Amino acid sequence: MLDHFGMLAPFYEKLIKPRFPEGLIKQLDIQPGDKLLDVGGGTGRITQYFSDITETIMILDESCDMLKEANKKPRLQPLCASSEEIPIKDNSIERLIMIDAMHHVKNQDATAKEMWRILKPKGRLIIEEPDIRLRGIKLLAIGEKLLMMRSRFLSSEKIEMLFNYPNASIREMQDGYNVWIIVEKS
């Protein structure tokens, strides 16, 4: 299979410009000392903005080439692994983010289970995905299919169903063309 992200890695942030994630930082409510994991975080284009907030910032991605770019940024700890088998202890991460990546993973159900497994009680997880209910995003989804990017966009409702646990609190927020699914573990 074609490695789109490996080919794009050296100039990914020139194509997809990093933006200061002010709303994400506010909603994540990360505290000093919290561990942050960015699942599917690639080059660290979003996670780099957390380096002044907390010390332990890990980026998990299947693309080791994307992580080579992340490794150029201070204080980011790259972890080349699959989101379906995250090599991190149960209940050990206070904050997780997954930005524009859920539609790229092979097994979304297994990825959600892994993120839930490693999320600490009282932890918070935010998944940002393009809102597939919007016409422009449907066109994007078709484009990614044509490029054979293995993309499978889920509605926010379907993503929420992946976290159907008795001790899960879930809410949804719109952010332009994106939707945030905010999951908290009690």
The CATH code that applies to domain 4-9+34-185 is 3.40.50.150
Give per-residue burial for 8-27: e unless 16+ CB within 10 Å, then b.
Answer: bbeebbeeeeeeebeebeeb
Confidence grade of residue 1 (pLDDT, cut at 50, 70, 90): low
Query: Where along the chain do its domains lie?
Result: 4-9+34-185
The pair of structure tokens assigned to 81 is 């692994």
Mean pLDDT score across all residues of the chain: 92
Question: What digits encode the pLDDT tens for the residues 102-135?
Answer: 999 999 999 999 999 999 999 999 999 999 999 9
Q: How many CA atoms lie within 13 A of 109 on its CB side?
A: 1
The predicted structure's pLDDT at residue 33: 92
Question: What digits encode the pLDDT tens for the residues 154-169?
Answer: 999 999 999 999 999 9
Cβ-proximal residues to 167 (8 Å cutoff; 6+ apart), any chain: 121, 185, 186
Q: How many CB atoms lie within 10 A of CB 49?
A: 17
